[in-house]
């Protein structure tokens, strides 16, 4: 697909999402979520389309995208692994498990494996403090994460 065709596709799909959601109270966040759901990230080409439709500056849209960690500027891997970095998980060995997972996956936080298999993201509380350390793999929560489970996850996401 050419860059022009890709840009036209982004504009068309973003406009459709905007039309569906612009009537909501405070529509920017739902629109950004819709765009990310459609493309797997928020393409740069979508920002001016959103800004124009909502009568706000591109800088405001960019500021929201860069402020909230859930919005991605690049597509995520086939799997998304979110590791809790909050104090409760850290106090229960989360740092060591995080280091082990980064070693096993060959990536750091905010990175995607070269083969596109997994994206590793930090989160700051999954609400599983009693089962710390915790993680979320593709929307499924994992409690009492340890090195053995980290190794299982690494194998699972690479399959």
Beta carbons within 8 Å of 35's beta carbon, 6+ residues apart: 13, 14, 17, 42, 43, 46, 50
pLDDT (mean) for 38-47 = 95
Lowest mean pLDDT of 11-15, 27-31, 70-74, 90-94, name the range.
70-74
> Is the pLDDT at 2 greater than 80, yes or no?
no
**In the chain, where are the structural domains located?**
3-67, 79-158
Neighbour tally for 41: CB within 10 Å = 16
Grade residue 70 by pLDDT with cuts at 50, 70 and 90: confident
- Burial (CB count within 10 angstroms: exposed 0-12, middle 13-18, buried 19+), residue 100: middle
pLDDT at 5: 67
pLDDT at 7: 84
pLDDT digits (tens, 9 = 90+) for 79-121: 999 999 999 999 999 999 999 999 999 999 999 999 999 999 9
pLDDT (mean) for 4-8 = 75
Interatomic CA distance for residues 123 and 85, integer angstroms? 6
> Is the pLDDT at 4 greater than 90, yes or no?
no
- Give one word for 55, left, alpha or beta, with left for phi > 0 and alpha for psi -120 to 50: left
Q: Which CATH number fits domain 79-158: 3.40.30.10, 3.50.30.30, 3.40.50.2300, 3.30.200.190?
A: 3.40.30.10
pLDDT at 3: 61
pLDDT (mean) for 46-67 = 97
pLDDT (mean) for 31-41 = 95
pTM of the model: 0.80
Q: Mean of the per-residue pLDDT values for the chain?
A: 94
Tell me how many degrees the CA angle 61-121-80 measures, rounded to the nearest 5: 100
């Amino acid at each position: 697909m050419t860059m022009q065709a890709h840009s036209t596709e982004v504009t068309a799909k973003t406009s459709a999402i905007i039309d569906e959601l612009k009537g909501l109270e405070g529509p920017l966040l739902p629109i950004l979520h819709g765009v990310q759901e459609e493309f797997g990230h928020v393409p740069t080409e979508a920002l001016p389309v959103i800004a124009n439709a909502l009568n706000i500056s591109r800088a405001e849209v960019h500021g929201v995208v860069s402020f909230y960690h859930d919005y991605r500027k690049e597509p995520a891997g086939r799997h998304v692994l979110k590791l809790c970095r909050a104090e409760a998980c850290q106090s229960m060995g989360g740092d060591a498990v995080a280091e082990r997972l980064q070693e096993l996956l060959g990536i750091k936080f905010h990175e995607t494996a070269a083969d596109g298999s997994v994206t590793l993201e930090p989160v700051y509380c999954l609400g599983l403090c009693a089962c710390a350390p915790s993680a979320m793999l593709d929307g499924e929560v994992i409690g009492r994460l340890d090195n053995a489970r980290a190794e299982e996850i690494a194998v699972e996401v690479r399959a």
